[in-house]
Structure 1
């Protein structure tokens, strides 16, 4: 009598070469179950000394306090800091939380540019955005982006001049 795989007898086949195949099978049918085990939970976690901060640290309103360790190198400040504080009033599952944080990042870039100018440093935006590497390694992408940016700026200038001409 010919031996056949139980999965084949049950009408299932075991495809070879498909990464992750079988992860949703019952434990008795999973090929790696004897070797699998979840990482063991730590029975004893030593109490970490609470970190003290001299700057405002924002944290989720879903959490009662701060985590034991957190970063304080860039505290929230200016308009972007106010936007971040507003974002953390909302739950992390609320889209407003994330959209406000994204907008705050963009505002923070503008604040950084203004701070550079205020200190007499003219930023080299071309180099800081990695344009030299883009030109060297992705010339077609660079040209495409430059054409699109030029078209958008040209359209904006045209519309502003046209609007100014209609008013005058």
Structure 2
């Protein structure tokens, strides 16, 4: 079955480079001269930093503003026992974020009566809104 496809418009355009519309842009970029990379000095940390099971070492710079603490920290430590490819890892981290939000609201409420009033008012408004949505 040796058929000729020359009657099809555009057939074989990849055979001749002059017929390819992208040829002028198909250039290898020039190598950058004198580019070098020195690995930065690793960051020192005085707080616990959770690391993935997939990576052999920490990156040179990472965030330490919110170290794991309380129940949310325990959930995060459990999450980092699982691979990043595992859905449990991410769901546990999402759940830990929600637990941390509740822990923070409770902690703020225990320290300040104004925050306690605002928090309880916010919870009441959210409850009324949810109940209103459910009864429609």
Q: Same fold (TM over 0.5)?
A: yes
1:85 maps onto 2:66 in alignment: no
* CA distances 1:17-51 after superposition (whole Å, capped 9, x unpaired): xxxxxxxx9xx6462743675997x9631021111
CA gap of 1:47–1:122, structure 2 versus 1, over 3 A, is: same
Aligned to 1:10: 10
1:119 aligns with one of 97, 111, 116: 111
Cα distance in 2 for residues equivalent to 1:38 and 1:93: 37
Aligned-residue RMSD, C-alpha: 3.7
Corresponding residue for residue 165 of structure 1: none
1:46 is aligned to 2:38:
yes
Residue 150 of structure 1 is matched in structure 2 by: 131
Alignment length (residue pairs): 115
Is the CA contact (8 Å cut-off) linking 2:76 and 2:92 kept in structure 1? Answer: yes
Residue 59 of structure 1 deviates from its aligned partner by 1.3
Instruction: Using CA pairs under 8 Å that are at least 6 residues apart, name the structure with larger relative contact order, 1 or 2.
Output: 2
After superposition, the Cα gap between the structure-2 partners of 1:61 and 1:9, relative to the gap in structure 1 and judged at 3 Å, is same
SS at structure 2 position matched to 1:9: coil
Q: 1:94-114, CA deviations, whole angstroms, 9 ceiling, x for partnerless residues? A: 000000001001101100111
Change (3 A) 1:64 1:73: same
Please report the TM-score for the alignment, with normalisation by the length of structure 1: 0.55
Q: Which runs of 5+ in 1 are unaligned?
A: 1-7, 12-24, 129-144, 156-168
1:110 aligned residue (98, 102, 113): 102
- TM-score, reference length from structure 2: 0.67
